[in-house]
Amino acid sequence: MTPVHGHAATTIGLGTPILALAAVLTVAYAAAAIRLRRPGGRGWPAPRIVAAVLAFCAVSATLVGPIADGASADFAAHMAAHLAVGMLAPLLIVVSAPGTLALRALDVVPARRLSRLLRSGPVRLATHPLFAGALYTGSMWLLYASPLGLSLTGNPRLHWLLLAHFLVAGCLFTASVVPVDPSPHRSSFGLRLTVFLLAAAAHSVLAKQLYAHPPPGTTTHEAQLGGLIMYYGGDIVGLAILVVMFARQYTATRPRGRLRGHPSGVASARQHRDDQRNDRRDEQNRAEHLVVGADHGAGDHQGTEHETRDQAP
Amino acid sequence: MTPSVEVERPASVARPFGAGLLIGIGLMAAVDEIVFHQLLGWHHFYDRDTTRVGLVSDGLLHAAELVALVAGFFLLADARRRGPSMGLFPWAGLFGLGVFQLWDGLVNHKVLRLHQVRYDVDLLPYDLLWNGAAALLLAVGVVLAVVAVARRRRG
């Protein structure tokens, strides 16, 4: 991309409100989590707080600092910024379960309002794997593989808008594939895995295309470096998404009551403790679903059992 | 709730075997990418004369490789928690190593012509070695499977 005079200042100027918003949200998250962790509170896992803070770091790295400054001028930096904001930050945000935290921390009335919002038609559509996957993959291809899109990537004024778009699209996609927050309308594991597979394939094909055919105004070296960053960076985050996805499925499909009914009658203390912990977690989840899926009965709980059947070969 | 009856049945063979198979496929694909693409640089993930169809199929294969690796390890863990005696079956499933190698050697290299093993050299010894290694891995997997079944029969 051609360097624009004074673009760094522009980037920071437009990025500041987004950065401030991200900081406010992160502080609100941490405050709510810390309140829940107080003695007598319902508790909140520390790793989720770490994920939220790391997500903030990933987003802010694309708004200020060397990557942000280079992003309009250097295609490789541009790609690193898009990877951080479109893949890494969304995964960290989804894993930090902000929806669950909000439902737990808010009073009953706002919590009900939030759960109504989560159940509404538009949110349902936006978090459907097919819709979110098409939006995410489609906008990526439009941006990097069409003349219109390539004319936009060089525009520093639009740069932050594109970043915001990819952050939102990335969050929708990741949340639709790895639903950590309660979702009364969760898709089957098979559909989510298929959508992920197709999106990952489209991602790697586009990376190779950029590697082989540098976008106009980009040097071959920049394009190849950008393509490699997209290809391998996408792989690493994709692998992390898969691990979270399968780990959650692994927990959801654990054989229940096995240890208690085991013929040998011997269950190790550790397994017993794990079982108890899982049961406790189930109970908490169910409590949240009573809020979210009030009209659906224990909607999501059914979803989990449905998946159990899916997974069994 | 899964009824505890499930425990009374003998541990499924398909589960550990399938897990090993998936891990084997994913592992060999990863070895191909890391050793031959990155370390040796013999062939790249994209060659200039790769067709569009080849590019898309390669992308799908690459994504499937990631899924296979992760799914394989979680299935293995799942098989283990369902019945601790898996015998040699996960290892026998590693014949997936040979399956992928042979697929890569015959379909990717020869049919789709995505890339060759190496360029500017006489290809024949490389192809023979590549596919010979694949056949060897396959054979080891089959032997392990036969031994595993025999052991299971004996109890």
Across the interface, of B14, B60, B70, the residue whose CB is closest to A243 is B70
Chain B residues with CB under 8 Å of A193 CB are 67
Q: Distance, in angstroms, between A306 CA and closest chain B CA?
A: 11
Residue A279 has pLDDT above 80, yes or no: no
Provide the percentage of residues in chain A whose pLDDT is more than 70: 76
Chain A residues with CB under 8 Å of B81 CB are 254-255
In this prediction, residue A311 carries a pLDDT of 40
Contact: A257, B82; criterion CB under 8 Å = no
Cα distances (angstroms) measured from residue A81 to each of A33, A142, B75 = 28, 18, 35
Identify whether A171 is part of a domain: yes
First and final C-alpha spacing in chain A: 51
Site from A196, A245, A246, A308 to mutate, B interface, most B CB atoms within 10 angstroms? A246
Q: Distance, in angstroms, between B88 CA and closest chain A CA?
A: 20
Contact: A255, B6; criterion CB under 8 Å = yes
Across the interface, of B3, B7, B66, the residue whose CB is closest to A200 is B66
Q: What is the mean pLDDT of residues A153-179?
A: 86
DSSP for chain B, please give it: ---THHHHSPPPSHHHHHHHHHHHHHHHHHHIIIIIIIIS-SS-S--TT--HHHHHHHHHHHHHHHHHHHHHHHHHHHHHHH-S--TTHHHHHTTHHHHHHHHIIIIIIIIS-S--S-SSS-HHHHHHHHHHHHHHHHHHHHHHHHHHHHHHHH-
pLDDT tens per residue across span B74-109: 988 888 887 767 777 777 777 778 888 888 777 777
Contact residues, B window 52-111, toward A, CB-based 8 Å cutoff: 55-56, 58-60, 62-64, 66-67, 70-71, 74, 77-78, 81-82
pLDDT tens per residue across span B1-12: 444 444 444 556
Which range has the worst mean pLDDT, A5-19, A85-99, A183-197, B105-119? A5-19
Q: Distance, in angstroms, between A239 CA and closest chain B CA?
A: 7
Residue A18 has pLDDT above 80, yes or no: yes
Across the interface, of B55, B67, B82, the residue whose CB is closest to A205 is B55
Q: What is the mean pLDDT of residues A88-108?
A: 93
Which range has the worst mean pLDDT, A135-149, A207-221, B35-49? B35-49
* Domain of residue A28, residue span: 7-311
Which range has the worst mean pLDDT, A17-21, A105-109, B102-106, B130-134? B102-106
Identify whether A2 is part of a domain: no
Contact: B74, A246; criterion CB under 8 Å = yes
Identify whether A1 is part of a domain: no
Structural domain count of chain A: 1
Instruction: Name the residue ranges covered by the structural domains of chain B.
Output: 12-154
Closest to A82 (Cα-Cα) out of A37, A139, A125: A139
pTM of the predicted structure, to 2 decimals: 0.77
In this prediction, residue A313 carries a pLDDT of 36
Model ipTM value:
0.73
pLDDT tens per residue across span A287-300: 555 555 444 433 34
